[in-house]
């Protein structure tokens, strides 16, 4: 299928590919791997590339995008590139220079989506995670509405086509939406989201405001010791997920990715492994992995019905393949499992342990 067809319309008139390639990698991974993996992702069919200033690899990712444009694999307009405003640049006067720095690193004229990485500000400076003499993060006070106005100016200047947020809760979203003189609504809110952390209430709120939810860590919370309790269950080993994978002759990862697509959630898949990169694009290729259930379902299956056909072309595929999902007992079994650690509150404290 033509990847261009698998898009959601954004509230500003642009559209976003429903499946994205995440480019984050730990510091120990050579930066050259970001170029290699991004080229592999584009060759495999990914057209949505998600990156950030925090990842410290925009030069390498930009190199991969330009390489695939130069060899004729894609045109610039085929690629949907997302970058993020890091939290040391939330002061309004720092917003546009931060985006311009990303564009310089990428060697691109514009990004397709620029989002505020987190609503919690840190002290401005070159340090990604500024700390005091006691090793404590140095937070900053910032008016997010003023930051948003600076984001709007970036859109007006043509530096980005769309603007959005990440790791925002409902209250923080409402603060932006209710801002006097609001010119552009956030087109998206990127948050951790997977079957153990369905974000159902936040998803419902975002849909009601015509804001797209974008899921990261869609295959489960990162399991580094600094990040999550090692005794918590592993999503991709969940018996219900594995049973569905066996039924549909797919991997648990593909079931987890397709689950988000059918909820109307844009999903990011992150891997630098060639085999997994090719596997992760399969939800757009093999439409037989299409399952939905009734609105009375809960847990992993709540809100599994997709958005309208006008909003997401996924919804038009294989309606005759739909079924009622696993028995209620199986659904309940999944929903009683502990959830992963969400990042919306402890994002900065957790991420600081990696640097």
Residue pair 344/169 in contact (Cβ under 8 Å)? The answer is: yes
114 noted as active-site residue = no
Q: Is 116 helix (H, G, I), strand (E, B) or coil?
A: strand
Q: What is the CA radius of gyration of the chain?
A: 20
Cα separation, 101 vs 65, in Å, equals 17
Query: Considering only CA atoms, which of 98, 94, 97 is closest in space to residue 84?
Result: 98
Which parts of the chain are beta strand (E)?
Answer: 7-9, 15-17, 19-22, 48-50, 80-85, 111-116, 160-166, 188-192, 212-216, 266-270
Residue pair 80/49 in contact (Cβ under 8 Å)? The answer is: yes
Run of H or E residues at 165: strand 160-166
Catalytic residue among 24, 55, 216, 259: 55
Run of H or E residues at 212: strand 212-216
Residue pair 179/257 in contact (Cβ under 8 Å)? The answer is: no
* Separation of first and last alpha carbons in the chain: 41
Q: What amino acid positions are annotated as catalytic residues?
A: 55
């Amino acid at each position: 299928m033509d990847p261009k067809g698998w898009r959601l319309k954004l509230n500003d008139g642009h559209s976003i590919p429903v499946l994205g390639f995440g480019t984050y990698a730990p510091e120990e991974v050579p930066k050259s791997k970001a170029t290699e993996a991004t080229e592999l992702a584009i060759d495999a069919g990914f057209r949505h590339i998600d990156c950030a200033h925090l990842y410290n690899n925009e030069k390498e990712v930009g190199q991969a995008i330009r390489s695939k444009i130069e060899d004729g694999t894609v045109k610039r307009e085929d690629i949907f590139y997302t970058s993020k405003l890091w939290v040391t640049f939330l002061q309004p006067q720092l917003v546009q220079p931060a985006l311009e720095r990303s564009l310089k690193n990428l060697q691109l004229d514009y990004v397709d989506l620029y989002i505020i990485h987190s609503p919690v500000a840190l002290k401005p400076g070159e340090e990604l995670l500024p700390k005091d003499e006691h090793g404590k993060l140095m937070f900053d006070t910032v008016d997010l509405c003023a930051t948003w106005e600076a984001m709007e100016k970036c859109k007006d200047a043509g530096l980005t086509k769309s603007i959005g947020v990440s790791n925002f809760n409902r209250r923080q979203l409402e603060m932006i939406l209710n801002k006097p003189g609001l010119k552009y609504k956030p087109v998206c809110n990127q948050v951790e989201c997977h079957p153990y952390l369905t974000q159902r209430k936040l998803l419902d709120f975002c849909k009601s405001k015509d804001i797209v939810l974008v899921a990261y860590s869609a295959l489960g919370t990162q399991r580094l010791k600094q990040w999550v309790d090692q005794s918590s269950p592993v999503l991709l080993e969940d018996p219900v997920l594995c049973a569905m994978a066996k039924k549909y002759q797919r991997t648990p990862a593909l079931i987890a990715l397709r689950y988000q697509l059918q909820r109307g959630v844009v999903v990011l898949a992150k891997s630098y492994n060639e085999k997994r990169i090719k596997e992760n694009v399969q939800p757009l290729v093999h439409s037989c992995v299409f399952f939905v259930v009734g609105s009375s379902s809960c847990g992993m299956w709540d809100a599994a019905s997709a958005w309208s056909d006008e909003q997401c072309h996924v919804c038009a595929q294989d309606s005759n393949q739909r079924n009622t999902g696993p028995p209620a007992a199986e659904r309940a079994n999944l929903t009683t499992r502990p959830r992963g650690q969400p990042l919306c509150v402890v994002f900065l404290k957790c991420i600081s342990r990696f640097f």
